[in-house]
Amino acid sequence: MAEKKVPAVDPEVCIGCSACSAICPNVFEMQAEGKSKAVNGEADTEENIQRAIDTCPVQAISWKNKA
């Protein structure tokens, strides 16, 4: 069975540009401290999430295998 992959934001790298949450508002949520967090990695299509990953200016988002 194929592993399901979900995105994860590295808070050490994120600069809070919020492009990811503009592209996938159901997946990435801006937190009080100004960083993005992937709150639901399955709430958008893989293509759209990949677009958010590619758009992040500091490459803070990566795919992780779902536990």
Nearer to ligand F3S, 2 or 32 (CB): 32
Nearer to ligand F3S, 22 or 45 (CB): 22
Nearer to ligand F3S, 2 or 21 (CB): 21
Structure tokens at 44: 């958008």
At CB < 8 A and 24+ separation, what contacts does 41-49 make?
41/5, 41/6, 41/7, 41/8, 41/66, 42/4, 42/6, 46/5, 48/23, 48/24, 49/7, 49/24
Smallest separation (angstroms) from ligand F3S to the CB of 57:
6
Smallest separation (angstroms) from ligand F3S to the CB of 35:
6
Q: Which residues bind ligand F3S (CB under 6 A)?
A: 9, 14-20, 28, 36, 56, 58, 60-61
User: Beta partners for 51?
Assistant: none
